Amino acid sequence: RKEVEQDPGPFNVPEGATVAFNCTYSNSASQSFFWYRQDCRKEPKLLMSVYSSGNEDGRFTAQLNRASQYISLLIRDSKLSDSATYLCVVRSGGSYIPTFGRGTSLIVHP
């Protein structure tokens, strides 16, 4: 089982829609969680950290479920510019080295 798993998609949604992605992780000792965004043929960039209590940044909401070992990203009122690949990143205790999921592709169409 891969350490970090994501549904590759693509998720194809109309503008204005709400879309959610999940990411599961296998190491119960994982301590830090993040979402990165990668535009086509560009480098990944940090979108947001994921805190235990959940956190929100504008239209984006991230949540952590330690019991079920998954994190989620919710995007409300999707914009065309949200089209990208969303990478789940997990850091485990000890080395704290970030491990990336393969990403979920989102396509927002008019």
Partner 1 sequence: DAGVIQSPRHEVTEMGQEVTLRCKPISGHDYLFWYRQTMMRGLELLIYFNNNVPIDDSGMPEDRFSAKMPNASFSTLKIQPSEPRDSAVYFCASSLELVGTGELFFGEGSRLTVL
Site residues, partner 1 (CB under 8 A) = 32, 34, 36, 42-46, 49, 87, 91, 95-103
Q: How far is the CB of 88 from partner 1 (least distance, A)?
A: 10
Question: Which distant-in-sequence residues (6+ apart) come within 8 Å of 7 by Cβ?
Answer: 21, 22, 104
Please calculate the CA angle 87-84-22 and round it to the nearest 5 degrees.
Answer: 40
Q: For residues 18 and 31, which CB has a smaller minimum distance to partner 1 in the complex?
A: 31
Separation of alpha carbons 51 and 94, rounded Å: 19
| 64 alpha carbon, distance to own chain's centre | 11
For partner 1, the closer of residues 19 and 88 by Cβ is: 88
Nearer to partner 1, 76 or 102 (CB): 102
